[in-house]
Amino acid sequence: MLRRALVNTVRVAQPLAVARVAIPAFRASRPAVPSTFRSYSAAAGLSREEITSRILDTLKSFEKVPAEKLTTSASFSKDLSLDSLDAVEVVMAVEEEFGIEIPDEEADSIQTVQQAIDYIEKTPEAH
Among 4, 39, 68, 104, binds other proteins (CB under 8 A): 104
Residue 88 touches other proteins, criterion: CB under 8 A: yes
Q: Under the criterion CB under 8 A, does residue 108 sit at the interface with other proteins?
A: yes
Across the strands, what pairs with 75? 112
Is 106 a binding residue for other proteins by CB under 8 A? The answer is: no
Going by C-alpha positions, the residue among 106, 108, 105, 100 that lies closest to residue 55 is 100
**What are the residue ranges of helices labelled H in the chain?**
2-29, 48-60, 84-98, 104-109, 113-121
Write down the least CB distance from residue 65 to other proteins, Å. Answer: 16
- Scan residues 22-51 and list those touching other proteins (CB under 8 A): 44, 46-47, 50
Least Å distance between CB 102 and other proteins? Answer: 9
HSE (side-chain half, CA atoms, 13 Å) at 76: 23
CA end-to-end span of the chain: 64
Note the Cα 19 to chain centre separation in Å. Answer: 43
Among 2, 16, 21, 85, binds other proteins (CB under 8 A): 85
To the query of whether residue 57 is one of the catalytic residues in this protein, the response is no
Residues assigned a catalytic role: 83
Binding footprint of other proteins on the chain (CB under 8 A)? 44, 46-47, 50, 54, 83-85, 88-89, 91-92, 95-96, 101, 104, 107-108, 127
